[in-house]
Amino acid sequence: MYLEIISPEAKLFSGKVTSVTVPGIDGEFQMLNHHAAIISILAKGDIKIAADSFEFSKEAEGKFFLGGDKKYHLSINSGTLEMNDNKINILVD
């Protein structure tokens, strides 16, 4: 599946991923390949990304960190998410 993460300042990430875990307002949830269409508001927490290879934009340098779970983490204050047709768009603050 394809993921894009965009902040007001820049596009932070764009690429193929194997899973994405996000902090929903009712708790953390994960999306895998061919997940059902969804729109959600995100709460403060970490977006966790699993990918075979990971390259983020220059603007995102220092914002992502590799966690003990072997996933890349991005801390956010809030955001919105839309997944449709195996593409995830996340807007973050």
Burial class (CB in 10 A: 0-12, 13-18, 19+), 5: buried
Please determine, for residue 55, whether its predicted confidence score (pLDDT) is greater than 90.
no
Name the token pair of 60: 């995102």
d(CA 34, CA 30): 12
Beta bridge partners of 26: none
pLDDT tens readout for residues 2-43: 999 999 989 999 999 999 999 999 999 999 999 999 999 999
* Residue 71 near residue 79 (C-beta atoms within 8 A): no
Q: What is the pLDDT of residue 13?
A: 93
Average pLDDT score over the chain = 94
Query: What does pTM read for this prediction?
Result: 0.93
Domains and CATH numbers, the chain: 2-92 (2.60.15.10)
Of the pLDDT bands very low, low, confident and very high (cuts 50, 70, 90), residue 54 is confident
